[in-house]
Amino acid sequence: MPIYHKYSLAPLSWFRTGGSADTFVKADTLEELQEFMRNVSAFHILGNGSNTLIRDGGVTEPVLKLGRGFRAMMQAKNTVIVGAACLNRTVVEQAASWGLSGLEFLIGIPGSIGGAVAMNAGACGSETKDVLKSVQVCLPGGFLQILDITDLGMTYRHATLPKDAVVISATFALMPADSITIRQKINTYLEHRDEAQPTGGKTGGSTFKNPEGCKAWELIDAVGLRGHRIGGAVFSEKHCNFIMNTDGTATDIEVLGNLARSRVKEQTGVELEWEIKRFGRL
């Protein structure tokens, strides 16, 4: 199992910023993952690098990334089993080729299936929990467990996984559909993303979860932060719940986000909650 020291994490982040991991481990097989889980008590899991901000000071705890052995997809009638390292877009396209519908909403969500499960990713009124049947996880000590959807307590952008569990695979229950209908759904979601969100820049996706009864971007806009910049970090003019990195630092991004949290709290009383996972030394 490859183990690296002082490994630069910035190229693995969609923000393209952040420090190095004191220890970086890539598990390409289940056996390697189990070995890692038997020997490490605290760690960070890094998926596709979206929805993640790695702080400039680097990361003390080992950083784990799942490799090629966790990218398989299997079909059994209307059920698909997807490895946690599979990219959302790849999964949508493969399911479409099998004539199975239900995952199209993931087409515009950057990231991998493990992350989609862990945060109950969603878009355009659909969420991962709507089609998820079960997940397999690796627990501390290397033990494997299958969890039913009813065990996960999935709510808005949240799943209740066991402490330090690593998602290995997810099983989805889908519906058969003709290829034209599926393709139309995919195109609709992509068109909506391109119209409503910034694309092509260095961003981690939505910065904050939507508070109950309102939209995070509306609150950020209302307190005058659309287009506001700190260093190389700026709230997108197109969708101000997205922070764009224009050759800034992770600190720029986090300071800008915290400015929005404090200003929204002061002026509206609403507490914005980070959707982006942040870790590492300040």
Q: Which residues contact 243 (CB under 8 A, 6 or more apart)?
A: 203, 204, 207, 233, 234, 235, 236, 253, 256, 257
Q: What is the pLDDT of residue 124?
A: 83
Q: Which residues are catalytic?
A: 157, 206, 275
Report the CATH number that the domain containing residue 22 is assigned in CATH.
3.30.43.10
For 250, the token pair is 């992770």
Report the CATH number that the domain containing residue 233 is assigned in CATH.
3.90.78.10
Domain boundary residue, one of 68, 92, 113: 68
Q: Mean pLDDT for each consecutive 10-residue tract of the chain (282 residues)?
A: 94 96 98 97 94 97 97 96 97 97 94 96 93 98 98 96 97 96 94 88 94 96 98 97 96 98 98 97 90
- CA-to-CA distance for 19 and 57, rounded, in angstroms? 5
Structural domain count, the chain: 3
Residue 76 amino acid letter: A
Q: Rounded to 5 degrees, what angle do the CA atoms 115, 120, 124 make?
A: 115
pTM: 0.93
For 164, the token pair is 């330090």
Residue 260 exposed, middle or buried by CB count within 10 Å (0-12, 13-18, 19+): buried
Among 128, 162, 130, CA closest to 144: 162
Domain boundary residue, one of 170, 194, 218: 194
Q: What is the pLDDT of residue 200?
A: 81
Question: Domain span at residue 15?
Answer: 3-68
Query: Running DSSP on this structure, what letter comes out for residue 49?
Result: S
